Amino acid sequence: MSSYSIDSLEQYFKVYRKSVNKPKKFWGKIAENNFTWYQKWDKVVEFDMQKAEFVWYKNAKLNITKNCIDRHLANRGDKKAIIFEPNNPDEPSRFFTYSELYTEVSKMANVLRDQGVKKGDRVCIYLPMIPELVFTVLACARIGAIHSVIFAGFSANALSTRINDCNAKVIITADGGYRGNKTVDFKKIVDDALNKTNTIEKVLLVKRTNQEIDFKEGRDIWLQPLLEQAETTSKAEVMDAEDPLFILYTSGSTGKPKGMVHTTAGYMVYVAYTFKNVFNYKENDVYWCTADIGWITGHSYTIYGPLLNGATTVLFEGIPSYPDHSRFWNVIQKHNVNQFYTAPTAIRSLAKERIEFVQDFEMDSLKVIGSVGEPINEEAWHWYNDHVGNKRCPLVDTWWQTETGGIVISAIPFVTPTKPTYASLPLPGIRPVLMDELRNEIEGNQKLGNLCIDYPWPGIARTIWGDHQRYIDTYFSKFPGKYFSGDGALRDEVGYYRITGRVDDVIIVSGHNLGTAPIEDAINEHQTVAESAVVGFPHDIKGNALYGFVVLKEVGLWRDRNNLYKEINQLISDQIGGIAKLDKIQFVTGLPKTRSGKIMRRILRKIAEGEKSDFGDITTLVNPEIVEEISKEAL
């Protein structure tokens, strides 16, 4: 029991040493003492880093919802599991106790079973941030169906690509959703997506906005009437430790999105353990993570991590700027939030507003504040620390990825001294290493390198859905025997890690992970475009913004550049979603001719970073001096 909760720096070092010297014993104990199992494991871990094969808790049997819900019923049945805060502050908040959550999830699970969903089937979930989103995720887990939640900001096209990739049989959506002062036509987007798919048999519908929709008899089904008649208890499917729990798509630097697969037991143990420690969660605390469930942060730290610990988790439907820029602080005051977890991009945008927006609120309840999704710059760190944490709450900068399942490098509040812009030290069980370009491990401190992890942890993704080779190639080939994160990091004089950003072509915009390839594909669909390249450039609020270099089929076409700019952005928005729009575009006569794409992108990044003027100039991009200068540097 003692290693489950870390309360002093001395204990952290002790536990950490234990966890890396005897990982099997360490993870065995954590799993043994804090969860319910139908059957225990034969072996804690079996792995092969070359083949990217990982088996955690071999042959154990469990159901994660038993651990998220059922086992809390005896002592926490009347405790709030979920606090739902609607988009519109005038709409009352809703509360669900653990007993009510049990009923809601059971009903949903029974309806899914009645609709023919079976263990191993893929169910896509495309819903606003409403309680039904949590219920459907957990209902899938209860019956052993694999959920794939698609972020509601993705377009019909992006949705259809994902449905097709995992051959989903059922999709769960809503008539519409609220987002600030707008409504989003969820059902219409799904209808469009389904024109390009043929695996979906049923569309299950939640009523949220009561707006008119096209209803297709035989395919579309309203959930509410079925839920009203459903049984209020449901049997939890017996799952193997390594049965897939969910698929979550993340963008890569090439090709189509990668369906990262997480399995049951290892993911459960890892997110529960990291939640408990990184947020220092204590019984009766109210915890709030603002991330959308469509991203890994929402999966691991809005739903699974908190519920596995019997916590109270806030589910927020709205946006930080509606009805005004004080909404976050208002909600913290309203629900007496104790732990608050958000992204640097939100902090930067709120820091731009009048200080009264934050100062007018009583946020004494806060104990811990957290950051995730992208590097947090010094200025944002201090603003968050001073005005939200009141210099009183430890600020945990948590580094992790969809692929890692849970947080891997982070301070532990009240234990690890924090340092602005540093994620700090690895959590127990995590062995970070820095590698140089020649594949040598970089020893010692005050060093910069490619951030890898050289021993598996229970939360590591198991594969890319349908493409294990791509999983190996992307994460386990560049530095053989190690997991390569794609991020660069600096290790300071005391061994703290600071994440410096991506070293590949993934661009993080407003904390959203966007690959360059799908955006370029969208641009290239424009009939006048010959080729294109997209790079990121620093942006005050979004962290990075997108800069597109576009070569037209005929030079004269650039005269219509204002329209082209709009049309190209519309194409990107149609293909991927509004989050991926280009902030700047430059029509060019050609892309730099270099030996490798990597060097070409470096050159473009330099140009994008130095670019002061707005889009619209046709330039002969390849200034030979720049190319030569940067090529030298790149080599």
Min dist CB 389 to ligand WTA, Å, is 16
CA atoms within 13 A on the CB side of 565: 17
Cis amide prior to 92 (ω within 30 degrees): no
Min dist CB 513 to ligand WTA, Å, is 4
Helices (DSSP H) in 203-326: which residue ranges? Answer: 223-229, 265-278, 296-298, 305-308
Measured from the CB atom, the residue of 28 and 536 that comes closer to ligand WTA is 536
Q: How far apart are CA 73 and CA 85, in angstroms?
A: 24
Measured from the CB atom, the residue of 107 and 258 that comes closer to ligand WTA is 258
Measured from the CB atom, the residue of 86 and 511 that comes closer to ligand WTA is 511
- Both structure tokens of 630: 């940067």
Asked if residues 112 and 143 have their Cβ atoms less than 8 Å apart, the reply is yes
- Both structure tokens of 526: 């424009």
Measured from the CB atom, the residue of 56 and 399 that comes closer to ligand WTA is 399
Min dist CB 226 to ligand WTA, Å, is 34
Q: Strand pairing partners for 304? A: none
Radius of gyration of the chain (CA): 24
Q: How far apart are CA 521 and CA 251, in angstroms?
A: 13
Measured from the CB atom, the residue of 161 and 398 that comes closer to ligand WTA is 398
Measured from the CB atom, the residue of 131 and 577 that comes closer to ligand WTA is 577
Min dist CB 165 to ligand WTA, Å, is 17
- Both structure tokens of 376: 């947090």
Q: How far apart are CA 205 and CA 225, in angstroms?
A: 11
CB-closest chain residue to ligand WTA: 402
Nearest to 35 by CA among 246, 289, 280, 307: 307
**Site of interaction with ligand WTA (CB under 6 A):** 250, 295-297, 372-375, 397-402, 423, 485-487, 499, 502, 508, 513
Q: What angle do CA 124, 128, 134 make, to 5 degrees?
A: 65
Min dist CB 405 to ligand WTA, Å, is 10
Nearest to 184 by CA among 258, 327, 92, 294: 294
- Strands 447-453 and 432-435, bridge-based pairing: antiparallel
Length of the chain as a residue count: 635
Q: Which amino acid is at 121?
A: D
Measured from the CB atom, the residue of 29 and 258 that comes closer to ligand WTA is 258
Instruction: Give burial (CB, 10 Å; 0-12/13-18/19+) of 501.
Output: middle
Min dist CB 147 to ligand WTA, Å, is 17
Measured from the CB atom, the residue of 142 and 276 that comes closer to ligand WTA is 276
Min dist CB 102 to ligand WTA, Å, is 29
Measured from the CB atom, the residue of 170 and 369 that comes closer to ligand WTA is 369
Measured from the CB atom, the residue of 97 and 418 that comes closer to ligand WTA is 418
Q: How far apart are CA 87 and CA 100, in angstroms?
A: 22
Asked if residues 193 and 225 have their Cβ atoms less than 8 Å apart, the reply is no
Min dist CB 258 to ligand WTA, Å, is 10
Q: Which amino acid is at 109?
A: A
- Strands 53-58 and 43-48, bridge-based pairing: antiparallel
Measured from the CB atom, the residue of 85 and 403 that comes closer to ligand WTA is 403
SS3 state of residue 484: strand
Min dist CB 182 to ligand WTA, Å, is 24
SS3 state of residue 59: coil
Min dist CB 423 to ligand WTA, Å, is 5
Q: Strand pairing partners for 286? A: 312
Min dist CB 544 to ligand WTA, Å, is 10
Query: Alpha carbon of 15 to those of 67, 308, 423, 481: distances in Å?
Result: 24, 21, 19, 25
Min dist CB 280 to ligand WTA, Å, is 18
Measured from the CB atom, the residue of 31 and 407 that comes closer to ligand WTA is 407
